[in-house]
Amino acid sequence: MRKTYFDHIAAAPLHPQALKAMLPYLGEAYGNPQSLHSAGQHAAAAVDAAREEVAGLIGAASDEITFTSSGSEANNFAVKGLARAYQARGRHIVVSAVEHLSVLNPVKSLEKLGFSSTTVPVDGTGLVDPADVEKALRKDTVLVSVMTANSEVGTLEPVAEIANVCRARNVLFHTDAVAAAGAVPLDVRELGVDALSLAGDQFYGPKGSAALFLKKGTRILPLVEGGIQENGRRAGTENVAAIVGLGRAAAIARAEMADRASRLEPLRDLLIEEMTRRVGHVVLTGHRTRRLPHHASFCVEFVEGEGMLLLLDMQGVSASSGSACTSKSLKVSHVLLAMGLDHALAQGSLIFSLIDGTVREDVDHLLDVFPPIVERLRNMSPLYTQFLKENSR
């Protein structure tokens, strides 16, 4: 059976060159970068080189990059670390309604410490209006965090415009670019952001490799305190192999980003067009054109996501969903609800995110096996029966 992998947002395969670069640091090159001896200095040089590569991916300077263990850690670090470092300016935070939980939950925990927050809405395509961000700013606003791209619906947010609004009011701006970095061109100077999170596993680097960009001169309180690693911003012995893999993946992404997008975008567009044409009552979620080049997401009416995922898996297709049943929290995706979808429709969520190497035949396979799956589940759905009854009247 043909195996087709459409779950890039969950995990992308490690690039063979990144793996090759990492291997020595899982083997003979085991020195601690903080050590003075040559084994340590060899590892330190590898970490420095990786920092250069990661900085290069987003147009930053290498001393503006702090390595973290995950995109979630980078987001936690930015939100908690910046809000607490600058709380003398005020204790109000602004976020969008579709942020990742690793932004939203730190804001919640800051609220327990006396901070307050405002959530900016999105439109039906998941877009934040910069004017809404401006309206949400108060005298005591210290930080705004709006993501670069949403991993559930693929929408690319107007980050540069929002950064403009924040800069004019002397408010710090962080963007969670975990879903976007390595997939679309990002330049921190052009965007005008103060902080940006990225994760290697989203651009064919290893899991457990991520970074936070912090504009030079920006203060931050560390989450992990201890030694002087990462310039005192994050204590703990460096995960040298992961950092080296991240650096290599960043260098490759920088060189190949445009090529990758030009291969994946036509497949994404084919998937969006054909899916909505071949299956009735399917809606695209997110923006039609302002979206990640490898991302197609839908809501299928009258059926629930988990059933579709299980049946797709039996046909060799890996995908994901934002339905309540597929989440450990037993709640439907807050992103879909924020976009105004009702619960029943949101339960039919499906996300297809393409990895580099996906070919036309993979998309054709998905388009062949999917319609019968939907038909099968609809035939046992009381919601579909009810819909047919109401429509026949």
Catalytic residues: 325
Angle between helices 240-278 and 16-26 (to 10 degrees): 150
Confirm or reject binding of residue 114 to another protein (CB under 8 A): no
Nearest CA-CA partner of 307 in 325, 322, 282: 325
Judged by CB under 8 A, the chain residues 39 through 78 that form the site for another protein are none
Nearest CA-CA partner of 72 in 166, 211, 193: 211
How is residue 227 annotated by DSSP?
A: S
From 332, 350, 351, 369, residue interacting with another protein (rule: CB under 8 A): 332
Number of residues that bind another protein (CB under 8 A): 27
Judged by CB under 8 A, the chain residues 363 through 392 that form the site for another protein are 379-383, 385
Q: How far apart are CA 62 and CA 208, in angstroms?
A: 20
- Between residues 21 and 377, which has the closer beta carbon with respect to another protein? 377
- Between residues 237 and 379, which has the closer beta carbon with respect to another protein? 379
From 28, 63, 140, 342, residue interacting with another protein (rule: CB under 8 A): 342
Going along 147-237, which residue ranges are E strands? 172-176, 195-199, 210-214
Confirm or reject binding of residue 307 to another protein (CB under 8 A): yes
Q: Residue 273 half-sphere exposure, CB side, CA atoms within 13 Å?
A: 8
274-277 long-range CB contacts below 8 Å, 24 or more apart? 274/363, 274/367, 275/367, 275/370
Q: Which residues pair with residue 118 across a beta bridge? A: 94
From 331, 361, 368, 375, residue interacting with another protein (rule: CB under 8 A): 331
- Between residues 193 and 324, which has the closer beta carbon with respect to another protein? 324
From 347, 353, 363, 369, residue interacting with another protein (rule: CB under 8 A): 347
Q: Please, where are the H alpha helices in 58-114?
A: 71-85, 101-111
Least Å distance between CB 384 and another protein? 8
Stretch that binds another protein, among 88-96, 170-178, 322-330, 357-365 (CB under 8 A): 322-330
How is residue 358 annotated by DSSP?
A: -
Q: Which tokens hold the place of 68? A: 């973290």
34-41 long-range CB contacts below 8 Å, 24 or more apart? 34/227, 34/228, 34/229, 34/237, 34/238
Confirm or reject binding of residue 112 to another protein (CB under 8 A): no
Q: How far apart are CA 250 and CA 50, in angstroms?
A: 8
The one-letter amino acid at 133: V
Stretch that binds another protein, among 88-96, 159-167, 220-228, 319-327 (CB under 8 A): 319-327
Longest Cα separation, the chain: 83
Least Å distance between CB 341 and another protein? 11
Confirm or reject binding of residue 344 to another protein (CB under 8 A): yes
Confirm or reject binding of residue 328 to another protein (CB under 8 A): yes
Between CA 226 and CA 233, with CA 229 as vertex, the angle to 5 degrees is: 75
178 within 8 A of 205, measured Cβ to Cβ: no
Confirm or reject binding of residue 38 to another protein (CB under 8 A): no
- Between residues 112 and 139, which has the closer beta carbon with respect to another protein? 112
- Between residues 62 and 105, which has the closer beta carbon with respect to another protein? 105
Confirm or reject binding of residue 262 to another protein (CB under 8 A): no
Stretch that binds another protein, among 109-117, 202-210, 281-289, 323-331 (CB under 8 A): 323-331
Least Å distance between CB 306 and another protein? 4
- Between residues 165 and 377, which has the closer beta carbon with respect to another protein? 377
- Between residues 239 and 321, which has the closer beta carbon with respect to another protein? 321
Range 124-136 burial, b when 16+ CB lie within 10 A, else e: ebbbbbbebbbeb
**Which residues form the interface with another protein (CB under 8 A)?**
302-304, 306-307, 310-311, 314, 323-326, 328-332, 342-344, 347, 379-383, 385
